[in-house]
Structure 1
Amino acid sequence: MPAPAAPTPTPRRRATRIVVGALVAVLLLAALAFAAIRLYAGQQTGGDVAEPTVAGAATAVTADPADLDGAYAVGDGSEAGYRVDEVLAGKDVTVVGRTSEVTGSATIAGGELTEATIDVDVASIETDESQRDARFQDILGTAEFPTATFELSEPVDVSAVADGETVTVDAAGTMTIQGVPQDVTATLQVRLTEDGAAVSTQVPVTFADYGVTAPDLGFVTVEDDGFVEAELALTR
């Protein structure tokens, strides 16, 4: 006796199979995308970038305190940028951006740092991901405000560098980001070198103070606070 023919699927059953298949495909793609983001997060190298320091500067030298006085300029080898934590696909990631497009000047008189202005080309700051950099530039409006500035507002005693010491001091100043000025305190490390001085700094910032909203894209959430950082080679 011939086997009975298989029942022909009804239109409703066919529609159900199509919907289930589509859902499975969507879930599979979502799982693959999440896995790719997790893999990408694990490959981020910002946490491997050391915080700014003068420890790697040229061998410290000594000098007569009076010889410290004079004008200094930001020279080659200087860099600045930012450091911020974010949560990417559930993983804690440290993001570090840097640029060598840094200019500025400083003046020492009577063993005190009496003037200092540092300009950073924010639009040229780069991380290890170009899409993040494009988003960063958009958030900070670098087309309109391409430069961030720090200007010293009170003299700082740095006379101890004449003894070959690495001096750590707090420097009060005004930092301007996205056209918004804020009073800040920058922690400076200063070390005398044969060419002038090495200076490093890390300044804590709260983005909202500068009218910046930290992005939250669902799979990535950026913290509301971070640091502006710089390592500067000052030449006479």
Structure 2
Amino acid sequence: MRTRGKVAVWAGGVLAAVVVAGVVWGPGLYADWQNRNAEAAPVLDASGDALAEPTSLDGTWTAQPGSFAGYRVDEVLRGNHATVTGRTEQVEASVTLDGGALTEATVTVDMTSVHTDQPPRDLYFRTSALATDQFPTATFTLTQPATLDAGATVVDLTGDLAIHGVTRPVTVEAEIGQQGDDAVQVVGSVPLTFADYDVAAPSLGFVEVEHTGSVEFSLLLAPAG
């Protein structure tokens, strides 16, 4: 990996997006500002209900507008922690339920469209960190069926997560909520270590990116067709 080149590109983004805020405002003020601008973690819509009868959901469901995915990571600027979130609504998903069990699922995220509040950071994310010109998508593929119980709001989803050309097994504790007969919401977060996906977390002394983060998602699903 060309770590020196990655740090150089990332440094340009930081100098453009962080130094002005972090040095002129002060690290503490920058961290407070960044934390206020971070997106909240995905949660179930308050209007949703626990699953009534899972077998009634049998069939194929696909992602609808309002679905999103992204990442959450911490930056440390001179001892001050700032949470950064990236988001995109360019998400495709196909989920199949049979006999009240989730038997197939594929979720694909367009990584070229993930964005934060800082374009220079996004440039580093797309070019040096994830090389989205070579690996434009991230994909979760279910590898084990997951039984849905009546009244349930949580389900463990076991599958393969592919990011940056690297595929690793993961288990996601997802929350699920039913919104009438024609909509289901699934939300969750997948903790990850960047090195596991051959992604380097750069450090420039005055600012560092933590070596761990998470992938977050909220899927609004409706029956296909």
For normalisation by structure 1, the TM-score amounts to: 0.79
Identity %: 44
Q: Secondary structure at the match of 2:34?
A: coil
Distance in structure 1 (CA, Å) of the matches to 2:54 and 2:66: 25
What is the DSSP-based 3-state SS (H/G/I as helix, E as strand, rest coil) of the residue aligned with 1:191? strand
Q: Does 1:131 align with 2:120?
A: yes
DSSP 3-state at the match of 1:126: coil
Give the unaligned 5+ runs of structure 2. Answer: 1-18
Matches within 5 A, 1:85-164: 85-138=74-127, 139-160=129-150
Deviations 1:53-93 (A, max 9, x none): 21x25432765443111100011100000011110233101
Gap runs ≥5 in structure 1: 1-29
| 1:46–1:96 contact (8 Å) kept in structure 2 | no
Question: 3-state DSSP class of the match of 1:216?
Answer: coil
Inter-partner Cα distance in structure 1 for 2:143 and 2:36: 31
Q: Is the 8 A contact 1:158 1:190 kept in 2?
A: no
Instruction: Give the 3-state SS of the residue equivalent to 1:183 in structure 2.
Output: strand
1:212 aligns with 2:212: no
Counterpart for residue 82 of structure 1? 71
Alignment partner of 1:222 is 2:209: yes
Considering Cα pairs closer than 8 Å and 6+ residues apart, tell me whether 1 or 2 has the greater RCO: 2
1:51 counterpart = 2:41: yes
> What is the CA distance between 1:191 and its match in structure 2?
1.1
Shift of residue 50, structure 1, vs aligned partner: 2.1
Compared with structure 1, are the counterparts of its residues 231 and 62 closer, same or farther at alpha carbon in structure 2 (3 Å cutoff)? closer
- Residue 178 (structure 2) aligned to one of 180, 192, 196: 192
